[in-house]
Amino acid sequence: MPGTDRGVASAIKVPALFFLTLVVTFPSLYVFSALMGVRLGPKDTLRLILVPIAVNLAVLASLGPITGFFTLSTTSYHFMKLLNFFFFAISGAIGLRVLLAMLTRLEQAQMQESAAAPAAPVSDENAASDPNAPAPTSARPSREQTMARRTFQVWLVIYALVGAQMGWVLRPFIGSPTLDFEWFRGREANIFIDVIRTIGELLSP
């Protein structure tokens, strides 16, 4: 049945979308991190980004009943395309927040470890020469921690762009009701042009 085939295809393609996007973008993340002096090994880096991806999949799965409801209650193919694009954007934003929260916790843990380490003794002579000098503190993020956050932020932009286009390469996820079922479509334009075109078709009388 075409409907069953489309459901099976979507169930396979959605995890494949995130996995293939990670495969394409992970080397760039590791190289960026190494060039900027971020001391995270390949396993640690992979473990750090797999959690947000798992969150993305969980959020998309939770939105499945809503997608099913609109599928049964509307016949607008263009609306369903934009709805799914919107759901993917929501799951990506939530995954981004999870990643940034993990980076924040990692920074805090590293700062606590630095604070727990024995501090270098300050001579009474230096303290007396500058009584207004602030006491040494490890509460501020180090240069490495700041670079790590910026590296992941830049990579997330790359990941989002590649992921959007990867979804276009793996289309269709829904399948047009006027076309026969097929696993993949021919190469044409890109996801951003199609979104603009779909919005125009949806709003046209």
Contacts of 96 (CB under 8 A, 6+ apart): 52, 156
pLDDT at residue 140 tops 70? no
Q: For residue 119, is it within any domain? A: no
Q: For residue 83, is it within any domain? A: yes
Summary mean pLDDT of the chain: 76
Cα dihedral sign for 38, 43, 44, 50?
A: positive
Percentages helix, strand, coil for the chain (3-state, rounded to 5) are: 75, 0, 25
Cα dihedral sign for 180, 173, 71, 1?
A: positive
Q: For residue 32, is it within any domain? A: yes
- The predicted model scores a pTM of 0.69
Looking at per-residue confidence, does 124 or 90 come out higher? 90
Q: For residue 123, is it within any domain? A: no
Radius of gyration of the chain (CA): 24
16-55 residue pLDDT tens: 888 898 889 888 887 877 776 666 677 877 887 888 888 9
Q: For residue 154, is it within any domain? A: yes
- Residue 138's pLDDT band, with cuts at 50, 70 and 90, is very low
51-75 residue pLDDT tens: 888 898 899 889 989 988 988 888 8
Q: For residue 125, is it within any domain? A: no
The alpha carbon of residue 205 and the mean position of all alpha carbons in its chain are separated, in whole angstroms, by 36
Task: For residue 104, give its domain range.
Answer: 2-114+139-203
Q: For residue 29, is it within any domain? A: yes
The total of structural domains in the chain comes to 1
The alpha carbon of residue 107 and the mean position of all alpha carbons in its chain are separated, in whole angstroms, by 19
Phi and psi torsions of 128, nearest 5°: -70, -30
The alpha carbon of residue 53 and the mean position of all alpha carbons in its chain are separated, in whole angstroms, by 7
Q: For residue 172, is it within any domain? A: yes
pLDDT at residue 149 tops 80? no
